[in-house]
Amino acid sequence: MIKGLFKLFILFIVYSTVVSCSEQNIPDLPENPGNTNQGIASIDQTQINANGGGFIIRVKADGTWQASSSETWCTLSRASGNGNGSISGYMKANTEAERSVIITIIAGKEKAEFTLKQLAGNGSNPDPDPSPDPDPNPDPDPEKPSGYAGRIEIPVLKGGSMNIFHTWTTKENGKETVTYSYEYDCTKKHVRWVAFTFDNYTCQSNVKRSDAWKEDTNIPAQYRTSKSDYNPEYTRGHMVGSGDRVYSRAANEQTFYYSNMSPQQQAGFNTGGGVWNNVEDQVQAWGQINNPADTLYVVKGGTIDKEEDIRTRTSTGVAVPKYYFIAVLSYKNKQYKGIAFYVEHTNNKTNLIKRYSMSIRELEQKTGINFFHNLEDAIENNVEINYNPSDWSWKEG
């Protein structure tokens, strides 16, 4: 089972052949003072810390091109392409002296060469994944990527040049704490999903709602949303709820990025008494963790991948999901169990939410998303297929 190796966030923007948003129109890299441009290619950073991390290279070429890394501990998501394209690079954690790698891009007679440095390590190899069963041999695996994308709660990334993966973190008590991760679809101006965990620290209620609304600069400006993108018919519905992250002020503020918002029907859905509000409250109740060895893994999202599962779009092009879903994985007493929900986006005041529960495998069939793939295969298959509502405590009468 592949676990996280890296402390830096990883922004996955990988190759896709989607007709409506080809790589000829890939968005520019987010503004970053570390960006380096060498004609046919640019890179978003040239220094990675000792804990490892990711970087992005954008290629702008008229014909075919090749890419290579001079070191095996630095891998590239692809070695060639045709026309404009993007490459995700990954560095393993470094436990020894400072080291460097050369990334070379060749397109015809043109050449770009980037030297990346990785800072010296301290002899340890920290793992940001809070899983109670760390992998003792975390080598890169293209099917189960490393870094934050290798965390248990992260689904299989759709990738493609118009999908952005990002992980928000904060420093809590001198330790990095993962707030949540998301994969954002630029063509829909909406996240495909968000993923986060409850443990005995992140389940705590220490602060109040911050209302710290702000735009997410990780999203290119032309695909970014703001308050004006949500018309009066809908509310700005949190995907990671404000109430999901009240263990610290900084974490709560990160739930108010507009990339975390979905245009949701207010009455009978996203307010008290509404079915979605009740499902979210139930998951929060399950997230009250007492044992430091236990964790609740949560993936939430709205259906935007298929046109038939999009209810409509706002006047500015933001997709309005027809359905919302949650996949939940519980690790308690050294045992895993799973459950999922799939709720239509409509006026429905009910607290009888058990009727909307299902197995994770059934939710995968409805959404096309592969959840919890970073588990060992045997564990994944077991928790996704086996589902028993009586295994869970319910707030409903």
Residue ranges of the binding site for Mg(2+): 270
3-state SS, the chain, equals CCCCCCCCCCCCCCCCCCHHHCHHHCCCCCCCCCCEECCCEEECCCEECCCCEEEEEEECCCCEEEEEECCCCEEECCCEEECCEEEEEEECCCCCCCEEEEEEEEECCEEEEEEEEECCCCCCCCCCCCCCCCCCCCCCCCCCCCHHHHCCCCCCCCCCCCEEEEEEEEEECCEEEEEEEEEEECCCCEEEEEEEEECCCCCCCCCCCCCCCECCCCCCHHHCCCHHHCCCCCEEEECCCHHHCCCCHHHHHHCCEHHHEEEECHHHHHCCCCHHHHHHHHHHHHCCCCCCCCEEEEEEEECCCCHHHEEEECCCCCEEECEEEEEEEEEECCEEEEEEEEEECCCCCCCCHHHHEECHHHHHHHHCCCCCCCCCHHHHHHHHHCCCHHHCCCCCC
Q: Active-site residue 238, yes or no?
A: yes
Binding site: what residues are annotated? 270
Q: Which of 166, 190, 238, 345 is labelled catalytic? A: 238
Catalytic residues: 238
